[in-house]
Chain A
Amino acid sequence: MPLNLEGQQRREFIRRSLAMIPAVTVAPGLLLATSAEADMPPLHKYSPTFFSDEEWQFILAATDRLIPEDEHGAGALTANVPVFIDKELTGDYGQANDWYMQGPFHPNADPVFGYQLPHTPAELYRLGIKGARHHAMTRMNQEFSDLPAEQRDTLLSELEAGKADFAAAGISDLPSSTFFSFLLQNTKEGYLADPMYGGNRDMVGWKMLGFTGARASFREWVDQHDVPYPLGPVSLAGKRG
Chain B
Amino acid sequence: MIPYFNHPARLALVVVALGTTAVAIAAIGNSDDSKGISPQDTPADTALIKRGAYLARAGDCMACHTREDASEDYGGGRPIDSPFGAIYATNITPDPKAGIGDYGEQDFAAALRQGIRADGSYLYPAMPYPAYASLNDDDVHALYVYFMQGVVPVAKPAPETSLSFPFNQRWGIRAWNWLFADEAPYTSLEQTTGTISPERHAQLDRGRYLVQGAGHCGSCHTPRGMFMQEKALNDQDGDDYLAGSELDGWQVPSLRGGDGSGLRNWKEQDLVDYLATGRSRHAATGGEMRSVIQHSTSHLNDEDLYSIAAYLTTLGASDKASHASGDVPASQATSDSKSSSARDATTHQLTAAISLDEGARLYLDNCNACHFANGAGADSVFPPLVGNAQATADNPKALISTMLYGAQLPSTPKRPERLQMPGFDWRLTDDEAASLASFVRQSWGNQASAVSPEQVAEVRRNHGPVDATQQGRPEYLRQHAPIPSSTPSSN
Query: Is B488 interfacial (CB-CB < 8 Å)?
Result: yes
Query: Is B189 interfacial (CB-CB < 8 Å)?
Result: no
Other A-B pairs beyond A217-B369, A240-B365, 7, CB < 8 Å: A90-B488, A91-B489, A220-B350, A230-B354, A238-B366, A238-B427, A238-B432
| B428 adjacent to A238 (CB under 8 Å) | yes
A53 to chain B, nearest CB (A): 16
- Contact bitstring A82-121, B, C-beta under 8 A = 1, else 0: 0000010011101101000000000000000000000000
Query: Is B171 interfacial (CB-CB < 8 Å)?
Result: no
User: Complex: how many Å from CA A27 to CA B474?
Assistant: 13
Query: Is B373 interfacial (CB-CB < 8 Å)?
Result: yes
- How many inter-chain contacts with C-beta < 8 Å in the A-B complex? 79
| A95 adjacent to B366 (CB under 8 Å) | no
In the complex, residue of chain A having the shortest beta-carbon distance to the beta carbon of B368: A217
User: Complex: how many Å from CA A237 to CA B351?
Assistant: 23
Query: Is B476 interfacial (CB-CB < 8 Å)?
Result: yes
Query: Is A42 interfacial (CB-CB < 8 Å)?
Result: no
User: Complex: how many Å from CA A35 to CA B478?
Assistant: 11
**Neighbouring B residues of A220 by C-beta, 8 Å:** 350-351, 353, 368, 373
Contact status of A31 and B485, CB under 8 A, knowing A215-B369, A217-B368, A238-B366? no
**Neighbouring A residues of B479 by C-beta, 8 Å:** 28, 31-32
| A33 adjacent to B483 (CB under 8 Å) | yes
- Ordered by A's residue number, 25 sampled pairs between the chains whose C-beta atoms are within 8 Å are A28-B475, A28-B479, A29-B489, A31-B476, A32-B483, A33-B485, A33-B488, A33-B489, A34-B485, A35-B481, A35-B482, A36-B485, A87-B485, A90-B489, A91-B489, A94-B489, A95-B489, A97-B491, A215-B369, A217-B368, A217-B370, A220-B353, A224-B351, A231-B353, A238-B427
In chain B, residues 93-137, which have Cβ atoms closer than 8 Å to a Cβ of chain A? Answer: none
| A215 adjacent to B365 (CB under 8 Å) | yes
| A237 adjacent to B365 (CB under 8 Å) | no
Query: Is A219 interfacial (CB-CB < 8 Å)?
Result: yes
Query: Is B426 interfacial (CB-CB < 8 Å)?
Result: yes
In chain A, residues 18-47, which have Cβ atoms closer than 8 Å to a Cβ of chain B? Answer: 27-29, 31-36, 47
Query: Is A168 interfacial (CB-CB < 8 Å)?
Result: no
| B368 adjacent to A49 (CB under 8 Å) | no
**Neighbouring A residues of B481 by C-beta, 8 Å:** 35
| A92 adjacent to B491 (CB under 8 Å) | yes
B418 to chain A, nearest CB (A): 20
Residue in B373, B427, B488, B491 whose Cβ sees the most chain A Cβ within 10 Å: B491
A2 to chain B, nearest CB (A): 39
| B486 adjacent to A49 (CB under 8 Å) | yes
| A231 adjacent to B364 (CB under 8 Å) | yes
Query: Is B477 interfacial (CB-CB < 8 Å)?
Result: yes
User: Complex: how many Å from CA A202 to CA B138?
Assistant: 70
User: Complex: how many Å from CA A33 to CA B491?
Assistant: 13
User: Complex: how many Å from CA A47 to CA B488?
Assistant: 13
B364 to chain A, nearest CB (A): 7
- Contact bitstring A55-87, B, C-beta under 8 A = 1, else 0: 000000000000000000000000000000001
User: Complex: how many Å from CA A126 to CA B277?
Assistant: 58
A23 to chain B, nearest CB (A): 13
| B485 adjacent to A35 (CB under 8 Å) | yes
**Neighbouring A residues of B365 by C-beta, 8 Å:** 215, 234, 238, 240
Query: Is A236 interfacial (CB-CB < 8 Å)?
Result: yes
User: Complex: how many Å from CA A217 to CA B368?
Assistant: 7
- Contact bitstring B391-434, A, C-beta under 8 A = 1, else 0: 00000000000000000000000000000000010111000100
Query: Is A216 interfacial (CB-CB < 8 Å)?
Result: yes
**Neighbouring B residues of A34 by C-beta, 8 Å:** 485
User: Complex: how many Å from CA A104 to CA B365?
Assistant: 49
User: Complex: how many Å from CA A19 to CA B369?
Assistant: 32
- Contact bitstring A226-241, B, C-beta under 8 A = 1, else 0: 0001110010111010
A32 to chain B, nearest CB (A): 5
Query: Is B480 interfacial (CB-CB < 8 Å)?
Result: yes
**Neighbouring B residues of A28 by C-beta, 8 Å:** 475-476, 479
User: Complex: how many Å from CA A35 to CA B486?
Assistant: 10
In the complex, residue of chain B having the shortest beta-carbon distance to the beta carbon of A36: B485
Given B350, B373, B480, which contacts A35 in the complex, CB threshold below 8 Å? Answer: B480
Q: Top 9 A-B pairs ranked by shortest CB distance?
A: A217-B369, A238-B427, A216-B369, A220-B351, A95-B491, A234-B365, A91-B489, A36-B485, A220-B373
In the complex, residue of chain A having the shortest beta-carbon distance to the beta carbon of B486: A49
**Neighbouring A residues of B5 by C-beta, 8 Å:** none
Query: Is B180 interfacial (CB-CB < 8 Å)?
Result: no
In the complex, residue of chain A having the shortest beta-carbon distance to the beta carbon of B370: A217
Query: Is B84 interfacial (CB-CB < 8 Å)?
Result: no
- Contact bitstring A153-178, B, C-beta under 8 A = 1, else 0: 00000000000000000000000000
B434 to chain A, nearest CB (A): 15
User: Complex: how many Å from CA A33 to CA B490?
Assistant: 11
B360 to chain A, nearest CB (A): 11
| A237 adjacent to B426 (CB under 8 Å) | yes
In the complex, residue of chain A having the shortest beta-carbon distance to the beta carbon of B373: A220
In the complex, residue of chain B having the shortest beta-carbon distance to the beta carbon of A97: B491
**Neighbouring A residues of B427 by C-beta, 8 Å:** 237-238
Query: Is B487 interfacial (CB-CB < 8 Å)?
Result: yes
**Neighbouring B residues of A91 by C-beta, 8 Å:** 489
Residue in B361, B424, B485, B487 whose Cβ sees the most chain A Cβ within 10 Å: B485
**Neighbouring A residues of B370 by C-beta, 8 Å:** 217
Query: Is B372 interfacial (CB-CB < 8 Å)?
Result: yes
In chain B, residues 442-491, which have Cβ atoms closer than 8 Å to a Cβ of chain A? Answer: 475-477, 479-483, 485-489, 491
**Neighbouring B residues of A97 by C-beta, 8 Å:** 489, 491
Contact status of A49 and B488, CB under 8 A, knowing A33-B483, A220-B373, A230-B354? yes
